[in-house]
């Protein structure tokens, strides 16, 4: 599956844009202090966008399993929780490696980027 894109000109078109927006919003709520950086990075970085989409889809799957509340789903629920935690770590790593992070740090410390 190709990574989702926030760029409506991408071959996925507007439907792909609208499908990624809720996932980006979740990431912005997860890291509210980096909300603007997340939006910018999602526009520029396919890998980051793919992680955002994976994270959102994993949360949705976990929600469905928890609502269903079937005893046979316990192992899947635990696997999704681990996956979500791992994806949160990947998101954190991507944000810390982002050139946008260096620009932001330099601005807050008064240094040139």
- Work out whether the CA dihedral 25, 30, 35, 37 comes out positive or negative: negative
What average pLDDT score do residues 88-105 get? 80
Q: Would you tell me how many other CB atoms lie within 10 Å of the CB of residue 88? A: 16
pLDDT tens digit sequence for 56-75: 999 999 999 999 999 999 99
pLDDT of 110 over the 70 cut = no
Domain boundaries, the chain: 13-109
Paired tokens of 29: 């709520």
Cα–Cα distance, 56 to 10 (Å, whole number): 20
Give pLDDT, residue 63.
Answer: 97
Q: What length does the chain have? A: 113
Contacts of 58 (CB under 8 A, 6+ apart): 80, 83, 84, 87
pLDDT tens digit sequence for 22-46: 999 999 999 999 999 999 999 999 9
- b/e per residue 35-69 (b: at least 16 CB within 10 A): eebbbbbbeebeebbbbbbbbbbbbebbeebeeee
pLDDT of 101 over the 70 cut = no
Give pLDDT, residue 111.
Answer: 52
Across the chain, mean pLDDT equals 81
> Global pTM?
0.72
Question: Terminal CA-to-CA distance of the chain, rounded, Å?
Answer: 36
Q: Return contacts of 6-9, CB within 8 angstroms, 24+ apart.
A: 6/42, 6/43, 6/49, 7/43
């Amino acid at each position: 599956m190709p990574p989702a894109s926030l760029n409506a000109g991408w071959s996925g078109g507007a439907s792909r844009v609208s499908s990624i927006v809720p996932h980006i919003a979740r990431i912005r709520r997860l890291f509210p202090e980096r909300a603007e950086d997340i939006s910018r990075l999602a526009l520029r970085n396919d890998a980051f966008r793919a992680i955002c989409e994976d994270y959102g889809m994993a949360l949705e799957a976990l929600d469905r399993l928890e609502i269903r509340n079937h005893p046979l789903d316990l192992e899947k629920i635990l696997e999704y929780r681990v996956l979500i935690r791992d994806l949160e770590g990947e998101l954190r790593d991507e944000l810390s490696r982002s050139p946008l992070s260096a620009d932001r740090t330099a601005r807050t410390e008064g240094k040139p980027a």
